[in-house]
């Protein structure tokens, strides 16, 4: 009988094919892990919301029977849950009280519509602990999924909800049909608390400080900015060059943003110069498909009446904002590092995944035994 030779094929690690295969495998593993962690977090948040709802219900029943609100329910439930699940955290009296406020703050349908159900518990805790006003809390909840916990605390401490869309501009006249994107470019004041005011002698000093920590400066400006250069030279012809302080591309609105920095108060002539800069970028830098370039003049101070009159009649979209450096006028978050926190969030969510798996198994066993188990909060 003739022998058939079986040849084993494999991809050598040194080949480009192997590198592509390895990159694809790693991408799939990361995606699967992210989905698992997200699903685990969603389950845990649903369980926490239901626990809070049960506390509210039982306190109401207890209050109706005895004429008071059942003040010991949280303490008793905390002790019972910690005894039943000794390998799980999150059942302290403080955290159960937070779950109660969670359920009271967002009914089930509102929790989903505001995106709260997909946030990590650490984010939700910050919203509940730092914010009393419902409207303000919902404003941050709708955006918190884009931020780390540290950045969320930073924005709350610096009152971002009051600064978004607050700069003076002529966008209503110059960006007709595109007004919805305007607030993304209008924070006022721009808080640059990573810059020491004592180090500033010239506008170039401020520019140096911003470029040295360009990531935090872009976070101070808003989401979606891409750094395109400092002192960018544009040759407009006839031996004339314009030199732009800072140039960014804002990819959510597909437009270039020119920033001019001024250490002193705003002066009307700044707007005329910025108008020329915007024209130059539109003509010589922007490509087909880019929307109108925006000019943003950042000054230490401004007189509103003078700024408004200056903007009136300008054909290009211009904004005049203020900046704050150092900690002056800012209530900082304690020990906040906006460049850190991602690894901590991922590790926390990985622990959540393990906790939910144990929690689910335990509750499934109790259901089989006929115990009084919590219902699915989504039901």
pLDDT tens sequence for the chain (379 residues): 445 454 444 545 555 677 788 778 888 888 888 777 777 788 888 888 999 999 988 888 876 565 454 557 888 888 888 888 888 888 899 999 999 999 998 887 677 667 788 888 999 999 999 998 988 998 888 888 878 888 889 889 888 888 776 788 888 888 877 766 666 677 888 888 888 776 778 888 888 888 888 888 888 888 889 999 999 999 999 899 999 999 999 988 899 999 999 988 999 999 999 999 999 999 999 999 999 999 999 998 888 899 999 999 898 999 999 888 875 444 433 333 333 333 444 454 455 445 544 554 554 454 445 444 443 333 3
For residue 365, the surrounding DSSP H or E stretch is: helix 342-368
Q: Where in the chain is the domain with CATH 3.40.1350.10?
A: 162-325
Beta strands (DSSP E) in the chain are 168-169, 190-192, 225-237, 240-250, 255-265, 291-301, 318-325
Alpha carbon distance 283, 260 (integer Å): 19
Closest C-alpha to 181, from 288, 115, 249, 255: 255
The pLDDT value recorded for residue 197 is 72
For residues 219 and 192, the answer to whether their CB atoms sit within 8 Å is no
For residues 243 and 216, the answer to whether their CB atoms sit within 8 Å is no
> In angstroms, how far is CA 71 from the centroid of its own chain?
36
For residues 342 and 148, the answer to whether their CB atoms sit within 8 Å is yes
Alpha carbon distance 287, 46 (integer Å): 47
For residues 255 and 291, the answer to whether their CB atoms sit within 8 Å is yes
3-state secondary structure of 65: helix
Instruction: Kindly state the DSSP code that residue 371 receives in the 8-state scheme.
Output: -
Q: Rounded to a whole number, what is the largest CA-CA distance in the chain?
A: 100
Pairing of strands 318-325, 168-169: antiparallel
Q: Does domain 162-325 have CATH number 3.30.1330.90?
A: no
- Residue count of the chain, please give it: 379
For residues 99 and 121, the answer to whether their CB atoms sit within 8 Å is no
pTM given for the model: 0.57
Alpha carbon distance 307, 122 (integer Å): 42
Q: Helix 121-130 and helix 93-105: axis angle, to 10°?
A: 80
The pLDDT value recorded for residue 112 is 65
Closest C-alpha to 348, from 122, 112, 98: 122
């Amino acid at each position: 009988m003739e022998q058939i030779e079986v040849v084993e094929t494999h991809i050598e690690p040194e080949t480009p094919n192997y590198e592509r295969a390895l990159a694809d495998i790693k991408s799939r593993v990361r995606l699967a892990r992210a989905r698992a962690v997200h699903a685990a977090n969603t389950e845990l948040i649903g369980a926490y919301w239901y626990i809070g709802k049960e506390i509210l219900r039982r306190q109401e029943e207890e209050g109706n029977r005895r004429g008071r609100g059942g003040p010991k329910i949280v303490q008793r439930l905390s002790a019972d849950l910690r005894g039943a699940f000794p390998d799980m955290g999150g059942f302290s009296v403080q955290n159960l009280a937070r779950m109660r406020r969670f359920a009271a703050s967002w009914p089930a349908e509102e929790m989903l519509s505001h995106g709260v159900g997909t946030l990590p518990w650490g984010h939700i805790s910050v919203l509940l602990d730092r914010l009393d006003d419902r409207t303000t809390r919902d404003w941050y909840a709708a955006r918190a999924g884009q931020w780390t916990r540290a950045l969320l605390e930073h924005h709350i401490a610096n009152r971002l909800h009051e600064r978004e869309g607050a700069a003076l501009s002529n966008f209503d006249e110059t960006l007709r049909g595109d007004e919805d994107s305007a607030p993304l470019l209008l924070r006022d004041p721009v808080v640059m608390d990573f810059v020491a005011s004592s180090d500033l002698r010239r506008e170039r000093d401020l520019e140096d400080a911003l470029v040295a920590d360009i990531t935090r400066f872009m976070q101070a400006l808003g989401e979606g900015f891409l750094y395109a250069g400092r002192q960018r030279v544009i040759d407009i012809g006839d031996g004339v060059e314009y030199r732009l302080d800072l140039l960014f591309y804002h990819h959510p609105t597909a437009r270039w943003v020119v920033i001019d920095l001024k250490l002193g108060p705003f002066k009307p002539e700044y707007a005329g110069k910025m108008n020329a800069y915007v024209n130059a970028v539109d003509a010589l830098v922007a490509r087909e498909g880019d929307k109108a370039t925006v000019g943003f003049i950042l000054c230490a101070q401004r007189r509103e009446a003078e700024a408004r009159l200056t903007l009136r009649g300008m054909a290009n979209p211009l904004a005049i904002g203020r900046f704050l450096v150092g900690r002056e006028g800012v209530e900082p978050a304690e020990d906040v590092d906006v460049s850190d926190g991602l690894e901590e969030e991922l590790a926390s969510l990985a622990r959540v995944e393990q906790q939910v798996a144990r929690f689910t198994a335990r509750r499934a066993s109790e259901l089989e035994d006929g115990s009084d188990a919590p219902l699915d909060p989504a039901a």
